[in-house]
Amino acid sequence: MANQYAPQACSVPLVTSRADFWRAVLELMKPLTWFAPMWAFLCGAISSGAAPTGEFLWNLFLGAILAGPLMCSMSQVMNDYCDREVDRINEPQRPFPSGRITESQGLWLCTGLTLGSFGLAWIVGAWPVLLITIAAFVMSLLYSAPPVRGKRNGWFGNGLVSFAYEGVAWATGCLAVSGAFPPASIAGAVLYSIGAHGIMTLNDFKSVPGDTALGIRSVPVQLGIPRAARVACYVMNIPQLLCVGLLAWYGEWLWAAVLMGLLVAQIPLQVKLVRDPEARAPWYNATGTTLYVLGMMAYAIAIR
């Protein structure tokens, strides 16, 4: 006798109008996730030291579209497509398991976003930007798609996301507006990408029960929630402290003080976070993480 509780694929799309379809597409593309790579792109562009000419502003505009609505959306659609079987159990209301978007439509959407990204990357910065965009695409594959599915391990998967959203986007911004990637900017891209790994860990607290049941070894699953919260804070703080040291070494004492002030302001928020990570992670993302990204911009302005 067939198991009546087994998840069933929805064979008939539920989309009843063009407006419903585009609402489902927007849900897949997750516009709220675009901020991180677009902000990192802006930091990279500013850190390049390029003069704010008309060409600079035009490349800034095109690059922001590349980082957010195209590349970030592509990674989100790919991730949902690769998670469609799991979502039939955990989130049957999602676009794929609900049938609001078919698998073939999802593939076409992901392909269109990928090709659009490659085309715009060439327009923005020719080979340097195209190659780094291809690298970001490969990172998305490694994170979401079998056989690797890096998301199954929090250390590796979160590293892929943090470097794609921060480091790659930062490098793209720098290359798009100046065609160069100065050492100080490289250091900022790497350090803030490492710090963003801690931010990714905060996002995993809400899904510990589901991750445990599905065999996904997120950082909180591996370390336990209290220890993972403390580790996430260290991972966020140490790179910021190194950036303070770099600015001091470059003689930018005022900006080093600004960056140190932003870091110190995060400490009491982190003390409150570690007391109840599951409940306070969203609150910290709205407070402490905001200070973190402001520090990114302060560093970028200091080295330009």
Of 43, 18, 79, give the one whose Cα is nearest residue 192: 43
Backbone angles phi, psi at 217, to 5 degrees: -95, 70
Q: CB neighbours (10 Å) of residue 268?
A: 10
Q: CB neighbours (10 Å) of residue 145?
A: 15
Band of the pLDDT at 84, cuts 50, 70, 90? confident
- C-alpha–C-alpha distance, residues 208 and 213, integer Å: 9
State the angle between helix axes of 169-178 and 54-65 in degrees (0 to 180), rounded to the nearest 10: 150
Tokens 């500013």, residue located: 46
For residue 17, is it within any domain?
A: no
Region for residue 187 given its phi and psi (left: phi exceeds 0; alpha: psi -120 to 50; beta: otherwise): alpha
Whether the per-residue pLDDT at 99 is higher than 60: the answer is: yes
Provide the residue range defining the domain that includes 138.
30-303
Please count the structural domains in the chain.
1
For residue 173, is it within any domain?
A: yes
Whether the per-residue pLDDT at 3 is higher than 50: the answer is: no
Q: What integer is the mean pLDDT of 163-183?
A: 94
Band of the pLDDT at 29, cuts 50, 70, 90? very high
Whether the per-residue pLDDT at 2 is higher than 80: the answer is: no
Band of the pLDDT at 83, cuts 50, 70, 90? confident
pTM: 0.91
- C-alpha–C-alpha distance, residues 40 and 46, integer Å: 10
Q: What token pair was written down for 91?
A: 């989130």
For residue 12, is it within any domain?
A: no
Whether the per-residue pLDDT at 15 is higher than 70: the answer is: no
Percentage of the chain beyond pLDDT 90 is 80
- Please tell me the least confidently modeled range out of 177-186, 203-212, 272-281: 203-212
Q: Residue 195 belongs to a domain with what CATH number?
A: 1.10.600
User: How do residues 156-166 score in pLDDT, each as one tens digit?
Assistant: 999 999 999 99
- C-alpha–C-alpha distance, residues 274 and 149, integer Å: 29
